[in-house]
Amino acid sequence: MDIVVKVFSETECDLIIKDFIENAEHVKLSTDHGISRISSYEIDIKNLSNRIINLINNRINQNLLSRTGGKIGMVFGVRYSLDTKSDMEPHYDCSSYSCVIKLNNDYEGGGTYFPLDGGVLSPTEIGNGLLFKADTIDSYHSAYPITKGVRYVLVVRIEKHGVIRQLLKACFLHFVDKYIRKNKIKLYKKPLI
């Protein structure tokens, strides 16, 4: 399931980015949502204003949870720029579903890169999210580098299964990730777009 879903309006995305910038002291290289090798400049939504948190949660409930039948796992914003970090290494999210929501267009490059099939996917419209099953072998993905500007995205991880099942899948996918990196498995170097 790789589908593009309308989550926010363009005006709502502007409000989220504005709040993101106003709370910039909370934007940091963080391992709160993953391991250090894939750390990026992130902000947990709990550090945004209550109004924006409510907006985000309402839209997730309306536009994502109804499609997946899951519940909110994690939600955080990511800022990619040339002066900080322009991309993210391949990894597994280990949630049932993930959605990467495009908040702006003021950049070049970027997108969600799936190196096992060589494709870069990126919604064209602001407020749209790429929703994909995140607990499968081919969900291995990275943030493709930007080449200009600043890219803002909101990442939503959705949990559908119980804790034990998620832990077992996470352990398996962690093993696959480690195997790929240790054995330098040849992945597509350039996207096939």
> What is the fold, at CATH topology level, of the domain defined by 2-182?
Jelly Rolls (2.60.120)
Q: Exposed, middle or buried by CB within 10 Å (0-12, 13-18, 19+), for 4? A: middle
Per-residue pLDDT in tens (0 to 9) along the chain, 193 residues: 579 999 999 999 999 999 999 998 988 666 554 555 555 688 899 999 999 999 999 999 999 998 999 999 899 999 999 998 899 888 888 789 999 999 999 999 999 999 887 788 889 999 999 999 988 888 889 899 999 999 999 999 998 866 666 666 666 666 667 767 677 665 555 544 3
End-to-end Cα spacing for the chain: 19
Alpha helix (H) residue ranges in the chain: 10-22, 50-60, 66-68, 163-182
Distance CA 66, CA 68 (A): 6
Determine the pLDDT at residue 38: 57
Q: Exposed, middle or buried by CB within 10 Å (0-12, 13-18, 19+), for 25? A: exposed
The three-state (H, E, C) secondary structure of 92-128, written as one string: CCCCCEEEEEECCCCEEECCEEECCCCEEECCCCCCE
The pTM assigned to this predicted structure is 0.84
Determine the pLDDT at residue 192: 41
Are 61 and 158 in contact by the 8 Å Cβ rule? The answer is no
